[in-house]
Structure 1
Amino acid sequence: MSTSTERVSSNRSQVNKAAASGWMGSALEYYDFFVYGSAAALFFPQLFFPKGNPTVAIMTSLATYAVGFLARPFGAFFLGHWGDRHGRKSVLVFSMILMGISTACVGLLPTYEQIGVWAPAMLIVLRLVQGFALGGEQPGANSMVLEHAPFGRRGFYGSFIAQGTQAGQILAAGVFLPLLHFMPQQMFYSIGWRIPFLFSVAIVIVGLFVRRKVDETPEFTKEVRSGQVSKAPILETFRFAWPDMLRVIGMALAYVVPATITVFGAAYAAQPAYGIGFPKELFLWIPVLGNVIAVITIPFAGILSDKIGRRPTFVVGMICSGIATVLYLYAISIHSMMLTFIVSMIAWGVVYQGYNAIVPSFWPELFPTRFRVTGNAISHNIGVVLGSFIPILLVAVAPPGSSNIPLKVGSIAFAVACLSAFAAWSARETYRIRMEDLGNKHAVPVDEIEYERIRIEASRKIAV
């Protein structure tokens, strides 16, 4: 057995610090994701847009949510190149600072009543800055954790990044809910909504403290010492890995499922124009409690992917999530808050995590170290851009007053979920491939007995 196979990527302290760093970055990313997504669906139509046409206000508000994703591919090209040329650590520090500053500035913006059309214009600019920063955040964190993790436990350690995404949403709702409940409505629409955005500064400070303690990954360090760092990671990615890029783009379309639940679902149930009349607080509580369940289930999904493989875990989770999305919209349509709550707990807390928990390990495992951040970042963010505009399409397909909304919207979400599952199934299995062979189309996975022996040995070394 080769030395590179036997060794653990880093000692226990560095593995834990890398996982904590990825957790914090994802928490900030999805704190922003949920704060902005919730505000765009529930509050921004009244704050940043004219009040004459509610359908236009809802669609335009959701468009500002989606437009931030347009900048993500640009961030992916720039920050992915940076991460593969200069290291994972530096790009993660930069992206966290930029992301935190832009999120906090949203909380300082004047509203439409104060400065007219300049308010949504400034909102769009800040969303573009946020999107640029996010383009390199999670792909860089995925690579950082993956390259520190021991063989046979990459799915488990990578799952902490996914766990951070859920914790960020819990934190966001935990800030929003007391304000919405205890603060008078006029005060909330004046200053209360700003507080969750300004609070991101505190998350950035903690995150930067953690990230400064993490060493550069052994895999990237080895490439630097051997002079093998790619000089043109973008060109190499498109030349050698375009089939896997297409697969990741297809898998990333699955983000339509959480977007449908958290953004369109909230607008459908709580915006007066749709006539359902659910309280807005419910759609802050649903993600909180669903994500509490998810925080518990995610590590188990990561462990499961280390036992049976990335593909089956991903595919089953994705198809079940598509089915749950249809049931969720149906529950809203029949005005059943209890059924809406139960289905959302199953969808968000359990089945969706079969997909979500696998992303941080599965996608970067498809690319070699030389252009891992670039390949993952570009394909990830192109897929996310395509998926992020679907909630706007959903409002256009099912505007207030239309019939069969659950059928129309649910069919689209389920079809996208099936496409994502097919893309995952078409990829090669990676969980038993050695670190040095990841990205090699001709790599042969170790057999089950050898895999279990190496995994146990790696785990023992980490525990020392």
Structure 2
Amino acid sequence: MPRLAAASLAGTAIEFYDFFVYGTAAALILGRLFFPTFSPLAGTLAAFGTFGVGFVARPLGSVLFGHLGDRRGRRPVLVLSLLLTGASTVAVGCVPSYGSIGVAAPVLLLLLRFLQGLGLGGEWGGAVLLTAEHAPPGRRALWSSFPQVGPAIGFVLANGVMLALSATLSDAEFARWGWRVPFWAAGALALGGLWLRSSLAESPRFLEIDDHARVPFVEVVRHHGRLVLLTAGALAAGYAIFYAVTTWSLAYATERLGVSRTVMLTCVMAAVVVKAALTPFMALLGDRYGRRPMCLTGCAACGLWMLPMVALLATGQPLLMFLGILGALVSFITMFAVIAAYLPELYEARVRCTGAAVGYNLGGVLGGALTPIVATALAEHSGRVPWSVGVYLTGVALLSLVCFALLPETRPVPVPVVEPVTG
């Protein structure tokens, strides 16, 4: 289990690095390079629009790679999704700006972001299922939480590279070539991930399946449609809050408040590191007290913290901004630490790769694709404190809370040990 968990963690870290480095670039630089004829606000919104395309592609990737995972195994999904995401990320770093090739530049950006989303849509389901289906039932949430640490590591890597470049390069150098370096680095990371995953064993639960679904997505829609919609609605709050604090807040703080890129990236990265460290602990609580109680608690905490969070962000003070972001991410990980065990347990094994991944990534469309765009537009028409953003995020959290309340508990019940009767 340690070796398998480490390989799954490394793979998700690499793939989410690819996904997050685009979000950071969209917040900091892509608007003026690829949409220079727009106003600064419209350029940021357009860049966030291309960011959102990746989320729209993720459910399609779940269907495509979920079919492969339910028909041929979880392991092939891990290899092919990593190849697709890595190659498209490197290609983003090679796209000329609008000034060089005109409208073809944003079109290429849009296409490559779509391919990134396709790959990531398959990655999460394969990595989580391979870990969850190997794990012992009593510690399934703990072992399955390691792939969930991967996104935090990917985020820190992506933003760390951006932070180093923005701190050492002039604005002109960063705009000319510096922002491309993190995208090119994705190629080396992808090769390392492929090496780590080359010797993983197939899931034993998959090998036990005798009646593989012929078209898994059709079966999921026909027999588990309500479950998919409920899980998507339940996860929307986590996505909305995570991308509000890691993507929208970067643009808001640097453009509206005049906070430097270096300071804001440092605040967000420090909070993400704490979130990553807490993930296994929250997962252990999920093994002890159940998946659903942890999700309800985290979702309620998210709803309560959103208004204080935007008030703290609006101060422009690094320590207060850090505390606002940290509170949001701790609430977020209280529910998302157990999701990697919870979603697979909701579906039968023969359609699990498709069902769990589609529900997970549809939640990303509802919560992650629109949030940076909606929050940017709302903040533009707010005063110094963007209360409307806090109200929007609170509303998403309440919607998710209702969806979690309608889902069943799945934590395995320990089988009682019967002592033999002695005469």
TM range (shorter): over 0.9
Matches of 2:225 and 2:310 in 1, distance apart?
Answer: 36
Aligned counterpart for 2:119 among listed residues 133, 152, 156 = 133
Aligned to 2:134: 148
Is 1:205 matched with 2:205? no
Are the structure 2 counterparts of residues 187 and 34 from structure 1 closer, same or farther at C-alpha, using a change threshold of 3 Å?
A: same
Unaligned runs of 5+ in 2: none
Q: 414-423 or 369-378: which moved more?
A: 414-423
CA contact (8 A) 1:331 1:337 kept: no
Deviation per residue, 1:148-179 (Å, 9 max, x gap): 11110010001101111111111112211111
CA contact (8 A) 1:156 1:303 kept: yes
Matches of 2:313 and 2:269 in 1, distance apart?
Answer: 18
Matches of 1:112 and 1:402 in 2, distance apart?
Answer: 31
- Once the two structures are TM-superposed, the CA of residue 405 in structure 1 deviates from its matched residue by 5.2
Aligned to 1:352: 332
Aligned to 2:213: 230
Aligned counterpart for 2:404 among listed residues 416, 421, 424 = 424
Are the structure 2 counterparts of residues 420 and 52 from structure 1 closer, same or farther at C-alpha, using a change threshold of 3 Å?
A: closer
Aligned to 2:294: 313
Aligned to 1:333: 314
Are the structure 2 counterparts of residues 306 and 192 from structure 1 closer, same or farther at C-alpha, using a change threshold of 3 Å?
A: same
* SS class of match (1:306): helix
Aligned counterpart for 2:45 among listed residues 48, 52, 59 = 59
* SS class of match (1:148): coil
Aligned counterpart for 2:145 among listed residues 159, 175, 192 = 159
Aligned counterpart for 2:97 among listed residues 111, 132, 150 = 111
Is 1:374 matched with 2:360? no
Is 1:414 matched with 2:412? no
- Please show how residues 387-402 of structure 1 align to structure 2 within 5 Å: 387=367, 388-399=369-380, 402=382
Matches of 1:282 and 1:44 in 2, distance apart?
Answer: 20
CA contact (8 A) 2:267 2:318 kept: no
Matches of 2:87 and 2:303 in 1, distance apart?
Answer: 35
Is 1:29 matched with 2:20? no
Matches of 1:404 and 1:184 in 2, distance apart?
Answer: 29
Runs of 4+ residues deviating >6 angstroms: none
Aligned counterpart for 1:253 among listed residues 226, 231, 236 = 236
Letter in 1 for 2:33: L
- Please show how residues 246-325 of structure 1 align to structure 2 within 5 Å: 246-254=229-237, 255-271=239-255, 274=256, 276-325=257-306
Q: TM-score of the superposition, structure 2-length normalised?
A: 0.94
Matches of 2:26 and 2:406 in 1, distance apart?
Answer: 35
Unaligned runs of 5+ in 1: 1-14, 433-444, 454-464
Deviation per residue, 1:331-366 (Å, 9 max, x gap): 222333321122222322x22211221111111110
Deviation per residue, 1:189-221 (Å, 9 max, x gap): 111111111111122112111111111000111
Aligned counterpart for 1:188 among listed residues 174, 187, 196 = 174
Q: How many residues align?
A: 417
CA contact (8 A) 1:262 1:283 kept: no
- Once the two structures are TM-superposed, the CA of residue 446 in structure 1 deviates from its matched residue by 4.3
Are the structure 2 counterparts of residues 328 and 51 from structure 1 closer, same or farther at C-alpha, using a change threshold of 3 Å?
A: farther
* SS class of match (2:408): coil
Matches of 2:33 and 2:148 in 1, distance apart?
Answer: 32
Deviation per residue, 1:407-458 (Å, 9 max, x gap): 11111101111221221222111112xxxxxxxxxxxx446x569x9xxxxx
Aligned to 1:383: 363
* SS class of match (1:281): helix
* SS class of match (2:133): helix
Letter in 2 for 1:112: Y
Identity of aligned residues (%): 36
* SS class of match (1:352): helix
Q: 139-148 or 20-29: which moved more?
A: 20-29
Matches of 1:19 and 1:248 in 2, distance apart?
Answer: 24
Deviation per residue, 1:81-107 (Å, 9 max, x gap): 111001000011100000000011111
Matches of 1:354 and 1:83 in 2, distance apart?
Answer: 28
CA contact (8 A) 2:166 2:262 kept: yes
CA contact (8 A) 1:17 1:210 kept: no
Q: 203-212 or 334-343: which moved more?
A: 334-343
Matches of 1:141 and 1:430 in 2, distance apart?
Answer: 20
CA contact (8 A) 2:307 2:391 kept: yes
- The CA RMSD measured in Å over matched residues stands at 1.8
Matches of 1:212 and 1:199 in 2, distance apart?
Answer: 21
Matches of 1:39 and 1:75 in 2, distance apart?
Answer: 23
CA contact (8 A) 1:237 1:375 kept: yes
Matches of 2:317 and 2:402 in 1, distance apart?
Answer: 33
Letter in 2 for 1:110: P
Letter in 2 for 1:175: V
